[in-house]
Amino acid sequence: MLIGCHVSIAGGVFNAPQRARELGCECMQIFSRSPQGGKAPGLTDDIVARYKKILKASSIEHVYIHTPYFINLASTNNRIRYGSIKVIREELERGSLLGIRYVMTHLGSAGDLTEKAACAKVAQMLKKSLDGYSGSTKLLIENSAGTGKIIGDTFVEIGTIIRVVKNPALAGVCIDTQHAFASGYDFRTPENVQKTFLRIEKELGKNLLKLMHANDSMVAYATHRDRHEHIGKGSIGVESFGEIVRYAKKNKIDMICETEHDFVKKDISLLKKMRASA
């Protein structure tokens, strides 16, 4: 079970490993392209070789890619919907070139569709995105905070989509602790953390939890807002995070912080201390 954070690829993807190491990371998450859109930077043989050489020297063991923010697999706009499946496929292919473990994605918003229709559309589009894919990098679905009609705020919903897609390239779930807390999964006490993970395992299946975004919450429980806070500074708190780390350690689930970089180094250090005492 490794601990790290999201790092920038500014200046080239090969710059990310050293940045991660300077922050105390053992694993890291990156965007392989601008999260706002636009053409992805090329990955030539030279760039890939340079990246892998620096990665090896940095001792960063696992690397993850987050897809851009504009992904919406349930959009009624064909350009957005098909553009989303194209980008997911491209990120998986790029990940395979770089030796990335997992690509994670949000699913988008139901918009004018019913929840059932939106989930069916998402599953259909994921099938299209993964059709014929044979790369080494696998796809994860990240849970949402449940703002508005955002899809994937319950693990029942995500588990249903995964079972409908039925493709081994869709390996499971990246659980974001803040999103889960905001959408109604109770982490307010260590005892509740234990109960909540049992609930998630029942709703989803324990073997599908593959990665964790370790974020405290700036907002209160079940308020359905996506607002990350530094570890121990939010509504989840230090004691509950100690229990979350214990669960992650027991199940060998890597933890990635997505907190602001002003104190992310402290977040990583605190999580390491929790791991040592877990």
**Tens place of pLDDT for every residue, the chain, 278 residues?**
999 999 999 999 999 999 999 999 999 999 999 998 888 999 999 999 999 999 999 999 999 999 999 999 999 999 999 999 999 999 999 999 999 999 999 999 999 899 999 999 999 999 999 999 999 999 999 999 999 999 999 999 999 999 999 999 999 999 999 999 999 999 999 999 999 999 999 999 889 999 999 999 999 999 999 999 999 999 999 999 999 999 999 999 999 999 998 899 999 999 999 999 99
CB of 190 within 8 A of CB of 243? yes
What is the per-residue pLDDT for 261?
A: 86
- Give me the pLDDT at residue 70, please: 93
Q: CA-CA distance, 27 to 63, in Å (whole number)?
A: 6
Q: Is the alpha carbon torsion for 158, 164, 169, 171 positive or negative?
A: positive
DSSP structural state of residue 15: G
Judging by DSSP bridges, how do beta strands 228-229 and 216-217 pair with one another? antiparallel
Give CA–CA dist 171/256, Å, rounded: 18
Q: Residue 258's domain spans which residues?
A: 3-277
pLDDT of residue 206: 81
Domains contained in the chain, number = 1
CATH number of the domain residue 21 falls in = 3.20.20.150
Helices 264-277 and 238-250, axial angle in degrees (round to 10): 60
Say what the pLDDT of residue 119 is: 96
pLDDT of residue 237: 98
Contact 229, 178 (CB under 8 A): yes
